[in-house]
Amino acid sequence: MSGIEEELRAAFARHETLAPPVAPVRARIDQAWVRAKRRRLARRITGAAAAVLLTGAAVPTVLQRWEHAAAPTVTLAGEAPPPAPAGPLDLLLLGSDNRLRWQDPAEQHADSVMIVHVPADRSRTYLISLPRDGEVKLPGGRPARLTETLDQGGPALTEQVVSELTGIDFDARVTVNLRALRAVTAAVGGVDMCLTETVKAQTTGQRFPKGCQHVGADEVSALLQARYGLPNGSYDRDRIAQRFLRSLAAKLTADGTLSDPARAHALLTAARDGIELDGPAGPLLAAAGGLGSAEVVGISEPSFRATAAGRERIYPAVGPGLFAAVRGDTVQTWVRANPRYVTK
């Protein structure tokens, strides 16, 4: 009775040696995954557009290449609503400085680098700021400041470096300049935002008092550029940018701009010169309405953390856990455990 069972066990055990070695299989799986992911990107980009729009930064100007200044193809009427995207979305948001010429990549600095994470349940949008002067490794191993990657290799290099650092594969990359933010702000009639300390703009000399206030389109650039004189320099500036995007998102969702195609269209038209979304898909804004009430949560390093050599480091204490939480879609749990890093 047990004879055949024993023979079976023995036959299985003998043939274990047929199993292929793990490493080459692992490599082939990774290659197949990249291909599968690329196919999926086309479907998910719609969700990306929605998430980006929520952060006040969406003109899906579809660019095939960084230098290529394509005309935006915004078509809204008559298009069937896209299927609701599933799964979490990770975008890389690059805010670049418009004191420099937008068209010349060699003059760009990534003055603000944020990971935008929208969890699968769409309950929130997380903005994770990376310090602009934080040290990163360029391909080849040479160290550089994060802000330098944009003029050394364009947004693609910045994305590559951030992916390398964090292990996050981005669904899309969005590059925004201040002019576009000004246009969006003008289109919504200004935003109401709160500051935790008084900010003095070094470009215009304007004072933004501590507390809540109305910020008009003409003031946005000055406020978002302010860095000197703040207790934590660019770290505080990153938090101001997060608060601004949060206020903008609140305004956009509260007044129904996102769910009104005509107004969304006007908004996108206003901002279209300054925002670029990489990726293959056309703009399908219907999905943006689904994100209407999501809460925006900012995450940032409280202050400067340097190496012994004086180089600035990116989330030296919590980075691995934070980035793993993004990859595993458990940022909410991470935030609860690390309230110190959450922007008020």
Partner 1 sequence: MPVTYEEFADSRLGALLRYAVMLTGDPHTAQDLVQDTMVRVQLNWRRVAASDSPDGYVRKMLTNQFIDLRRGSWLRRVLLRAEPDPAPAVPTDHAHETAERDRIWGMLAKLPRRQRAALVLRFYEDLPDADIAEALGCAVGTVRSSISRALATLRAELVEAR
Give yes or no for residue 32 binding partner 1 (CB under 8 A). Answer: yes
Residue whose entry in the numeric block shows the structure tokens 């305004």:
251
- For residues 14 and 340, which CB has a smaller minimum distance to partner 1 in the complex? 14
**Of 87, 150, 163, nearest to 276 (Cα)?**
150
Q: Report helix angle 261-271 to 178-187, nearest 10.
A: 150
- For residues 120 and 212, which CB has a smaller minimum distance to partner 1 in the complex? 120
Choose one: 8-16, 60-68, 146-154, 298-306; the region binding partner 1 (CB under 8 A). 8-16
Dist. CA 239–CA 24, nearest whole Å: 45
- The site map against partner 1 for 97-136 (x = CB under 8 A) is -----------------------x----------------
Minimum CB separation of residue 128 from partner 1 in Å reads 18
Minimum CB separation of residue 336 from partner 1 in Å reads 14
Residue 334 CB contacts under 8 Å (≥ 6 apart), including other chains: 321, 322, 325
Distance from first CA to last CA of the chain, Å, rounded? 71
Give yes or no for residue 83 binding partner 1 (CB under 8 A). Answer: no
Of positions 47, 72, 88, 190, contacts partner 1 by CB under 8 A: 88
Give yes or no for residue 19 binding partner 1 (CB under 8 A). Answer: yes
Q: Which two tokens stand for residue 74?
A: 């915004």
Q: Is the dihedral of CA 265, 270, 272, 274 positive or negative?
A: negative
DSSP bridge partners of 110: 96
Give yes or no for residue 143 binding partner 1 (CB under 8 A). Answer: no
Count of residues near partner 1 by CB under 8 A = 35
Q: Report helix angle 217-225 to 233-254, nearest 10.
A: 150
Residue numbers of the site for partner 1 (CB under 8 A)?
A: 4-5, 7-22, 24-26, 28-29, 32-33, 36, 40, 87-88, 120, 324, 327-330
